[in-house]
């Protein structure tokens, strides 16, 4: 006994908007290069598990990490 199935019907679709290409990373290349120059090889935020009691405390810590001054290299 073979069961016949109805064909799958395509539902009508409506386009709500069109996303235009504006250059993407090419447009942001200057900002990315400046970021690399300022931060060097140091990550933006230290890796690891960090626990905070509030989102405000977390945001304040993240802002401190992003804006902390760069340590000078030790001279031998």
Would you write out the chain's pLDDT as a tens digit for each of its 76 residues? 677 887 778 888 888 888 887 777 787 888 888 878 877 777 777 888 999 999 999 999 988 888 887 666 555 5
Nearest-angstrom CA–CA distance, 76 and 32: 32
Residue 42 within any structural domain of the chain: yes
Q: Indicate the pTM of the whole model.
A: 0.43
Nearest-angstrom CA–CA distance, 50 and 58: 9
Residue 4: per-residue pLDDT:
80
Range of the domain at 35: 24-67
Residue 9 within any structural domain of the chain: no
Count: domains in the chain: 1
Residue 10 within any structural domain of the chain: no
């Amino acid at each position: 006994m073979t069961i016949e199935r109805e064909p799958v019907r395509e539902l009508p679709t409506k386009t709500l908007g069109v996303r235009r290409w504006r250059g993407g990373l090419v447009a942001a290349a200057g900002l990315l290069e400046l970021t690399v120059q300022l931060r060097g090889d140091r990550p933006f935020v230290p890796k690891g598990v960090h626990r905070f009691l509030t989102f405000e405390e977390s945001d304040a810590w993240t802002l401190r990490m992003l804006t902390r001054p760069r340590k000078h290299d030790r001279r031998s």
